[in-house]
Amino acid sequence: MVDQVAILGVGMHPWGKWGKNFVEYGVKAAEDALKDAGVAWTDIQYVAGGDTIRNGYPGYVAGATFVQALGWNGAQISSSYGACASGTQAIESARMRILAGLCDVALVVGSDTTPKGFLAPNKGTRGDDPDWLRFRVLGATNTTYFGLYARRRMDVYGATSEDFAQVKVKNSRHGLSNLNARYRKEVSADEVLSSAMVANPLRLLDICATSDGAAALVLCSMEFARRFTTNPVTIAGIASVTPVYPSTTIEMPNFSTDSAAAVPAPIRGFRDSIAYTAYEQAGIAPDEVNVAEVYDLSTALELDWYENIGLCQPGDAQKLLRDGDTTIGGRVPVNPSGGLACFGEAVPAQAIAQVCELTWQLRGQAGARQVQGAKVGITANQGLFGHGSSVIVKR
Amino acid sequence: MKKRIPAVEGWLNIDPAHPRLIGTKCSDCGSIFFPRETVRCRNPRCGSSRLEATELSSRGTLWSYTGAEYKPPEPYVPRTDPFQPFAIAAVELAAEKMVILGQVDGVGVEGLKVGMEMELTLDTLLEDDETETITWKWKPVSVRENA
């Protein structure tokens, strides 16, 4: 077990398509997190920014961009990019700084403005970039990979399109009262099953949108936190692992898996290893988890995560869903925020938003979507090119 | 006759009589890579620089598949206007113990099932007045046998 850091404040800018600069969203989320913590901006000693690649140079240097917008305060900074795992890397950067004793209180901010439609590679011809080549040669979008996993689950484990639709139904109900969610409307299974086919077997309503949004955390040492609260939510574990060779599941944006011809595949596949690492670090077992926020880029992918984070055995995820275990009121609710189904993805903000939600849940401040008595929560997520991302929080 | 070139230089043999993906084999540990590795074996306990080009098996079993029902964004170049949906397959090669993606030739998703035997074929990716760019695709073996 490693030492903990406290989550003193959380804040978000609502997800949507607002047509504004990402800095404005990030500032709003930061202001809310600072207010929630009761800490003045000028007292923040370290700022960790989650980078966005779509918003030009200010996005690449998110740490400094947010410090400038909030007013130069001399804080030390970092800017992290790990695709969808960028937020976790920013959180980890701040946590390490605090645990090393190099600062007492830090601000983590991730924010994005995203285009409509499929996420696509940057412009230009780049014949040595697998992310460019997979579009050029295969026409393989991100949803292609989600479709492959979904079909595999159907043909191997007997999941159905109805199961996938029920994930959306559940998450749309969870997110109804969440004012930070972009989509707050109940969705029926019929609506999902009659929406346009995008990446067979996944339909439009199985796949998350891309959104504008921002999320921020104020993290601090346990000693610093004692000035403000006797019972803070804490971070008990963070995984930012890469795969172990040979990684034998096809992963975005690759053309192939590693080969297991010379070296046998590891005991745990990449996605299993993400949560496992966080559990080990936290000294917490999967059966102690009360609530989870996982990356439902697609409905089917949420089911994969149930197994990857140890909520059930491989192949049993759809049973867990059908039994209502992962619905609020069930044994271990998943995505009480409404998940990406209700938010859409704002890449560098999303992993931070997951931690915001768990913090509200563990404080008992989640209102109509409250998971009763939640003491331990886990997030799980994965970024393009092999970025694992999981955060375990407890109170 | 247009000049035929591979979609990515060095990735595939475009001889119509002998279509093959070209990967890399490590001469020290036997690890296989596709696309090719030219610098260092990615087996972390090996790291050898003795890397040789190797042709990969042209048959495998279908690990999973999906359909691209909407036109992918650039840099994808659609072959038809209006766009025609196509299937993408992930095929597991037995000897190489790896899965390789490719578009599917000959059938749509309705003609596929996990576990089917698939074989490598060649098809045109892009075409202009002088050159024809050739890519690899996967095709169910049963499609050829039934033809």
CB contact under 8 A, B35 and A255: yes
CB contact under 8 A, A250 and B99: yes
My answer on whether B52 and B63 are in the same domain is no
Chain B: nearest CA to A212, how far in angstroms?
A: 20
| pLDDT tens-digit map of B13-33 | 999 999 999 999 999 999 999
User: Angle A299-308/A270-282 helices, nearest 10 degrees?
Assistant: 50
My answer on whether B52 and B62 are in the same domain is no
Given a cut of 60, whether residue B146 has pLDDT beyond it is no
My answer on whether B44 and B74 are in the same domain is no
Give percent of chain B with pLDDT exceeding 70.
97
Average pLDDT over residues A90-108: 98
Put residue A158 in one of left, alpha, beta given phi > 0 → left and psi -120 to 50 → alpha.
Answer: left
> Which chain B residue has its CA at the smallest distance from A254's CA?
B101
The per-residue pLDDT of chain A, averaged, comes to 96
Model pLDDT, residue B144: 66
Average pLDDT over residues A248-259: 95
Q: Find, among A310, A354, A311, the residue nearest to A336 by Cα.
A: A354
Chain A: nearest CA to B46, how far in angstroms?
A: 10
CATH number (domain holding residue B122): 2.40.50
Q: Find, among A252, A344, A366, the residue nearest to A296 by Cα.
A: A344
> Which chain B residue has its CA at the smallest distance from A145's CA?
B66
Tokens coding A6 = 């406290």
**Beta-ladder partners of B17:** none
Residues 116-135 of B with CB under 8 A from A: 125, 135
Whether residue B14 lies inside any domain: the answer is no
Model pLDDT, residue B147: 52
Average pLDDT over residues A144-166: 97
Mutation for testing the B interface, residue in A134, A259, A270 having most B CBs under 10 Å = A259
Q: Per residue in B76-111, is it b (16+ CB within 10 Å) or e — as a string?
A: beeeeeeeeebbbbbbbbeebbbbbbbbbbbbebee
CB contact under 8 A, A151 and B95: no
Q: What's the structural domain count of chain B?
A: 2
Sign of the torsion formed by the C-alpha atoms of A129, A130, A136 and A140? negative
What interface predicted TM-score (ipTM) does this complex get? 0.96
CB contact under 8 A, A141 and B68: yes
> Which chain B residue has its CA at the smallest distance from A146's CA?
B66
Please, which pLDDT band fits residue A365 given cuts at 50, 70 and 90?
Answer: very high
Q: What is the biggest distance separating any 2 CA atoms in chain A, rounded to whole angstroms?
A: 57
Whether residue B65 lies inside any domain: the answer is yes
- Round the CA-based radius of gyration of chain B to a whole number and report it: 16
Chain B residues with beta carbon closer than 8 angstroms to that of A125: 75
Mutation for testing the A interface, residue in B66, B79, B103 having most A CBs under 10 Å = B66
Chain B: nearest CA to A12, how far in angstroms?
A: 31
Read out DSSP for A188-234?
A: -HHHHHTSPEEEETEEGGGB--B-EEEEEEEEE-HHHHTTT-SS-EE
Please, which pLDDT band fits residue A155 given cuts at 50, 70 and 90?
Answer: very high
My answer on whether B53 and B73 are in the same domain is no
Half-sphere exposure in the Cβ direction for B82 (13 Å, CA): 3
How many contacts does A have with B, using Cβ atoms within 8 A?
143
User: Angle A299-308/A161-174 helices, nearest 10 degrees?
Assistant: 90
Chain A residues with beta carbon closer than 8 angstroms to that of B69: 196-200
My answer on whether B88 and B106 are in the same domain is yes
Model pLDDT, residue B145: 59
List the single residue in B29, B63, B68 with the smallest CB-CB distance to A199: B68
List the single residue in B30, B72, B86 with the smallest CB-CB distance to A262: B30
CB contact under 8 A, B66 and A150: yes
My answer on whether B87 and B36 are in the same domain is no
Whether residue B36 lies inside any domain: the answer is yes
Average pLDDT over residues A263-288: 97
My answer on whether B98 and B38 are in the same domain is no
Predicted TM-score (pTM) of the model is 0.95
In whole angstroms, give the CA distance from residue A71 to residue A48.
Answer: 15
Contacts with A226 (C-beta within 8 Å, 6 or more apart), sequence order: none
Average pLDDT over residues B80-99: 96
CB contact under 8 A, A248 and B98: yes
CB contact under 8 A, A118 and B113: no
Read out DSSP for A58-95?
A: HHHTHHHHHHHHH-----EEEEE-BTBTHHHHHHHHHH
Whether residue B32 lies inside any domain: the answer is yes
Residues 56-95 of B with CB under 8 A from A: 63-70, 72-77, 86-88, 90, 95
Whether residue B120 lies inside any domain: the answer is yes
My answer on whether B44 and B63 are in the same domain is no
Q: Are A388 and A241 in contact (CB under 8 A)?
A: yes
Average pLDDT over residues A213-235: 97
What is the amino acid identity at position A356?
C
CB contact under 8 A, B101 and A141: no
Q: Which domain, by its residues, includes B106?
A: 3-8+58-146
Whether residue B13 lies inside any domain: the answer is no
CA separation, residue A304 to residues A166, A178, A310, A315, A327 (Å)? 14, 25, 10, 9, 16
My answer on whether B45 and B29 are in the same domain is yes
CB contact under 8 A, A259 and B33: yes
My answer on whether B50 and B70 are in the same domain is no
In whole angstroms, give the CA distance from residue A70 to residue A7.
Answer: 20
How deeply is B18 buried, as exposed, middle or buried, from its count of CB atoms within 10 A (0-12, 13-18, 19+)? exposed
My answer on whether B38 and B62 are in the same domain is no
CB contact under 8 A, B88 and A261: no
A62-70: long-range contacts at Cβ-Cβ below 8 A with a sequence spacing of 24 or more? Answer: A62/A26, A62/A109, A62/A110, A62/A111, A62/A348, A65/A23, A65/A26, A66/A23, A66/A26, A66/A27, A66/A30, A66/A107, A66/A109, A66/A111, A69/A23, A69/A26, A69/A27, A70/A27, A70/A30, A70/A31, A70/A41
My answer on whether B35 and B70 are in the same domain is no
CB contact under 8 A, A136 and B135: no
Whether residue B115 lies inside any domain: the answer is yes
Whether residue B15 lies inside any domain: the answer is no
